[in-house]
Structure 1
Amino acid sequence: MKKKSIAIDMDGVLADTEVQYLNYYEQQFGTRLTKEIFHNVAEAEALPDGSIYKFLFTPGFFRTIPVMDGAVDAVKTLQQDYDIYIVSAAMEFPLSLFEKKEWLEEHFPFIQWNNIIFCGNKSIIDTDYMIDDYCKNLDFCKGKPILFSAGHNASITHHVRVNNWKEVETLFAEERSLARQ
């Protein structure tokens, strides 16, 4: 029997970009901000003076993003029953393509190269499920969209929401249980 497939976003889902933005901001300006600044605010507008865009063009930014808590173990678990594809928009920021590839090789070496999709528009992805933190990707998902919580999407209510990787594991355990019935 063919496994069902899951597309998993990188930034904000596997990689904790909010923490990275805050770390870079503190290094640059000497002020420590909290994740609350992202609450119901577009990511690009959360930090003053357009600094997020500056960080996105800084060498090493994508390469050194911290991994989301529980992501590695959860993806390994999901991989037992599902075909996992890492799908990331990596064309807008020139350094991100190579840095994201290296980041995945370090943190998710068990994901094969042919299960990594770097693209500009995720509407072409045709998987049974998609886990992403942006509705612009989920609204066109051909399978079941799953919204991974982030500050910028706090008020979104029209997709199934997971707040962390533990909840992702629970959701898919329930999906497997329903499929067996």
Structure 2
Amino acid sequence: MRKSIAIDMDGVIADEVVQLLTWYERHYGLKIHPNELSGRSEDEVVPEKDAYTKFTKMAGFFRTMPLMPGAVESVKKLSAQYDIYIVSAAMQYPHSLSEKREWLGANFPFISWRNIIFCGDKSIIGTDYMIDDHIKNLDYFKGKTIMFHAFHNVNHNHHTRVNNWDEVLTLMDSGF
């Protein structure tokens, strides 16, 4: 029986940080470089605390997120050996559901709609592995956890960390 991997969307296959900072500069005129964010909490990314919530309600925010480098090729390689599920806690932003589905269809057409899970609480996910950037999702997961590097998790080390998709492939090839 094939093992399964739950892969988070925002911050893992979709570059949410680049999207937020691009939209922030466009709407507020202030350029913030991703390197400036290391160690900050998500509430400290931009000076206007409501900017992210505002952007998530705007048409196109989720639909036009850039891909994380290497994500498509890596997920495609992993899908040859594992059952892949894209899992997003999208219920926090219910207006994002259609845009996220469209984004996945455009960028990951090889992932069946049956393997896309939009939920509120990822602790219900029962795959063998989970790749996520949020500690809150990894801490309650019962399988093996892989923490995808993000500015908000740099001070945590209680999950296996990967910095990019090449490292994910290397880790999974190692028999992790």
TM-score w.r.t. structure 1 length? 0.94
CA RMSD of aligned residues (A): 1.0
- Distance of 2:135 and 2:28 partners within structure 1: 31
- Offset at 1:132? 0.2
The residue type equivalent to 1:154 in the other structure is V
What residue number does 1:110 align with?
110
Select between 115-124 and 46-55 the one with higher mean Cα deviation.
46-55
Q: Match for 2:138: what amino acid? A: L
Counterpart residue number, 1:167: 167
Structure 2 residue aligned with 1:54: 54
| Aligned mates of 1:132, 1:161 — CA distance in 2 | 10
1:52 to partner: Cα distance: 1.7
Unpaired stretches in structure 1, ≥5 consecutive residues: none
Which residue in 1 is equivalent to 2:23? 24
Look up the match of 2:158: 158
How far did 1:44 drift? Answer: 2.8
In the TM superposition, residue 26 of structure 1 has moved relative to its aligned partner by 1.0
Q: Deviations over 1:63-92 (max 9, x none)?
A: 110000000000000000000000001111
CA distance in 1: counterparts of 2:11 and 2:155, whole angstroms: 16
Letter aligned with residue 47 of structure 2: P
By how many angstroms is 1:45 displaced? 2.3
Identity %: 57
Q: Which moved more, 1:105-114 or 1:58-67?
A: 58-67
Unaligned runs of 5+ in 2: none
Quote the offset at 1:46 in angstroms: 1.1
Q: Work out the CA distance in 2 between the residues paired with 1:36 and 1:71.
A: 21
**Would the aligned equivalents of 1:16 and 1:68 in 2 still touch at CA under 8 Å?**
yes
Counterpart mapping for 1:30-179 below 5 A: 30-50=29-49, 51-175=51-175
Residue 152 of structure 1 aligns to which amino acid in structure 2? Answer: H
Whole-angstrom CA distance in 2 between matches of 1:81 and 1:57? 37
Q: Which portions of structure 1, spanning 4 or more consecutive aligned residues, are displaced by more than 2 angstroms? A: none
Instruction: For 2:83, give the aligned amino acid.
Output: D
Amino acid in structure 2 at the alignment position of 1:164: N
Normalised to the residue count of structure 2, the TM-score between the two structures is 0.96
Using the alignment, how far apart are the partners of 1:52 and 1:36 within structure 2? Answer: 18
Report how far residue 14 of structure 1 moved: 0.4
1:91 maps to amino acid: M
